Amino acid sequence: MSLDHPVHFARRRRARPRIAPIAFLTPFMLPFLLIFVAPIGYAVVQSLQKVERADGLFGAPTTVWAGFAQYARAVNDSDFVASILRVLLFGIVQVPVMIGVALVLALLIDSQSARLKSFHRLAVFAPYGIPGVVAALMWGFLYDPRLSPITAGLATIGIDPNFLGPGQILWSIANVVTWTYAGYNMIVLYAALQALPGDVIEAAAIDGAGPVRLALQIKVPLIAPAIVLTAVFSIIGTLQLFTEPQVLKTITTNITSTYTPTIAAYSAASANDYSYAAALSVLIAGVSFIVSFGFLRLTARWSVTS
Amino acid sequence: MTPTAPSALGPRPVNARRHGRLGVGGVTVNVVLLVATGYFLLPIYWLVIASTKSRSDLVSSFGFWFSSPQLLANLNELFTEQNHVFGQWMLNSLLYSGVGSVVATILAACAGYALAVYSFRGREAIFSLILGSVLVPATALALPTFLAFAKIGLTDTYLSVLLPSIISPFGVYLCRIYTQAAVPTELLEAGRIDGASEWRIFRTVVLRLISPALVTVFLFQFVGIWNNFLLPLIMLQNDRLFPVTLGLFSWQSQISREPQLLLLTVVGSFVAVVPLVITFLLLQRYWRAGLATGSVKG
């Protein structure tokens, strides 16, 4: 912190800066603690409880402490474990593909030969502004054989893509997610490319590096921290996967009520199984936090050493 | 006058080749870009075309071209269906996004300013707590918030969606670093010596200096709330309180029973995107500023 302590200067009314920070902070901190922090604490408490009914199903419910029973239940819940493995598989394929697409597009738009740069930039970024629900609805219509000109076109050349089939649906979801967020990542990487010092690029060009070598051997290594950052945020997004599968669930039976961890937690809450829902959301939030915190620590150390 | 030669001091080598003299590589670059742009625009293009069609044309005519357009009739039906519920949803979305993002921006500006200019005990601890919560994604937070609101009976109200929307830890973070960079301490001192109150200095001097950061916070929050799905889905039962995303989802889930909702879902999706596209195009430069926080020059 380079700023000086204002109290050194405010000689005339010393008490003022003591009250001012409280007055400026409280309007944020009060709702922040009550609506943001407290529910997390309450979820942790609730995840350690269970509801017991005195006389079978119809007795009066009482809440009792259950220790880590709900967490044990989650670990032994084969549907929940399957949902974690599913988003893992999804992330291993979708994140590299999306970041790859974003990187290639950023490099192409940054290249000298590209025309209509701002048009391309805007067109690729536009899906980011479209609500996830609407994006999933649109692609759902394009996947749906009753409506889709794409499936109709493919059918005339003898291909039945069956986008909503049991084997394809995960990748159809991956396509919606890639379509929505590739442009966002492209803009971040493009901004990093624009910030590269011009003399480095020019020196490489004068030394005879062609545009491809320039891109792969000079530009990509220089923006590596930005690439890592976009990848980390995409991995965190993958752990939260909810909207796209939940919307596509309305047009296919191949998405179950435990398809992703977040859908599983939502289903538990909808079934009034609050303690289990709390345990699942604590697990999801905890894992996301640890992953992002770990990666940020790692990249911070990396950018200091490089 | 001949054009000036590329200067060694210039930011980038000037493109010497003009239109019409692209090599094989240059043609490839532009073809790939056009194909990619086509992929990103195709679903939006389909939606625009589909919104103008009649029910029978929607399923029978070629999807990527117009067939006896009747957009106005469709819009009229959209807005009158189920006792004008769609208009209500759009207004709800505007209310949630508008009020939520304005309040969130004001709170973030105040808190960011306090964390930037005053030193007091516990400041770094508070800042770490806020920074840590940037890493807890909204989706993971929606369920705990629901469980807590269910306990105090706050679910299924406007407040149940609005209250969680007024908190933007990312906004506080951005306002703090922006205030540190853009507001000189001397200026605050000058104001104090002139006898201005802390609040007046903040309102008249600081807010103006950090306004680019405020626009960015507002925009991200506005679009974030508009696009939010899980929170309203889990909080709301009464369809009169739905934001437009949840309303469209509820129509989509009923299509198998009420097939006439298919066309309305298509037209409604189109209408729901329009306000965002307008905001988006008008405030483009703020987006880029926000996305590249600190990493881009000018």
CATH 3.40.50.1360 for domain B71-291: no
Q: Does B104 touch chain A (CB under 8 A)?
A: no
Phi, psi at A64, each rounded to 5°: -125, 160
Residues A108-127, mean pLDDT to the nearest whole number: 89
| pLDDT(A192) > 60 | yes
The pLDDT-based confidence of A302 (bands split at 50, 70, 90) is low
A35 and A114 share a domain?
no
A24 and A102 share a domain?
no
Percent of chain B past pLDDT 70, that is, above it, reads 88
Q: Which two tokens stand for residue A135?
A: 């994006």
Kindly determine whether residue B36 and residue A46, on different chains, have CB atoms separated by under 8 Å: no
Closest CA to A298 of A221, A231, A249, A241: A231
A239 and A148 share a domain?
yes
The strand pairing partners of A65, in sequence order, are A49
A151 and A223 share a domain?
yes
In a domain, A60, yes or no: no
In a domain, A47, yes or no: no
Cβ-Cβ contacts under 8 Å for B147 (sequence gap 6 or more): A39, A42, A43, A46, A269, A274, A277, A278
A291 and A172 share a domain?
yes
Residue position matching structure tokens 């590739």: A182
Dist. CA A189–CA B284, nearest whole Å: 17
Q: pLDDT at position B57, please?
A: 86
Dist. CA A92–CA A258, nearest whole Å: 20
In a domain, A50, yes or no: no
Closest CA to A240 of A87, A39, A94, A35: A87
CB-hemisphere CA count at 13 Å for B148?
23
pLDDT single digits (tens) A171-186:
999 999 999 999 999 9
CB B164 within 8 A of CB B281: no
pLDDT single digits (tens) A200-219:
888 888 888 888 888 888 89
Quick one: DSSP state of residue B6? P
A139 and A279 share a domain?
yes
Q: pLDDT at position B274, please?
A: 85
The domain tally of chain A equals 2
Q: Does A192 touch chain B (CB under 8 A)?
A: yes
Kindly determine whether residue B41 and residue A126, on different chains, have CB atoms separated by under 8 Å: yes
Q: pLDDT at position B101, please?
A: 96
In a domain, A58, yes or no: no
Residue position matching structure tokens 């590209």: A114
A84 and A36 share a domain?
no
**Which of A126, A142, A147 is nearest residue B40 as measured by Cβ atoms?**
A126
How close B83 gets to chain A, by Cα (Å)? 23
A84 and A220 share a domain?
yes
In a domain, A195, yes or no: yes
Kindly determine whether residue B44 and residue A25, on different chains, have CB atoms separated by under 8 Å: no
Using a CB-CB cut-off of 8 Å, the residues of chain A touching B8 are 202
Find the CATH number of the domain harbouring A196: 1.10.3720.10
Nearest CA in chain B to A16: B198
Q: pLDDT at position A296, please?
A: 75
Residue position matching structure tokens 């000037």: B14
Q: pLDDT at position B15, please?
A: 47
Helix (H) or strand (E) holding A64: strand A61-65
Q: Does pTM top 0.80 for this prediction?
A: yes
Neighbours of B157 (CB within 10 A): 15
Cβ-Cβ contacts under 8 Å for A64 (sequence gap 6 or more): A49, A50, A51, A52
| pLDDT(A4) > 60 | no
Kindly determine whether residue B23 and residue A129, on different chains, have CB atoms separated by under 8 Å: no
| pLDDT(B3) > 60 | no
Dist. CA A192–CA B10, nearest whole Å: 18
The residue range of the domain holding A23 is 1-40
In a domain, A177, yes or no: yes
pLDDT single digits (tens) B104-158:
999 999 999 999 999 888 899 999 999 888 878 778 889 999 999 998 999 999 9
Q: Are strands A61-65 and A49-53 parallel, antiparallel or unpaired?
A: antiparallel
pLDDT single digits (tens) B240-291:
999 999 999 999 999 988 888 999 999 999 999 888 777 777 776 676 665 5
How close A82 gets to chain B, by Cα (Å)? 19
Percent of chain B past pLDDT 90, that is, above it, reads 56
| pLDDT(A31) > 60 | yes
Q: Which two tokens stand for residue B146?
A: 């629901």
pLDDT single digits (tens) B202-231:
999 899 999 888 988 998 899 889 989 999
A16 and A133 share a domain?
no
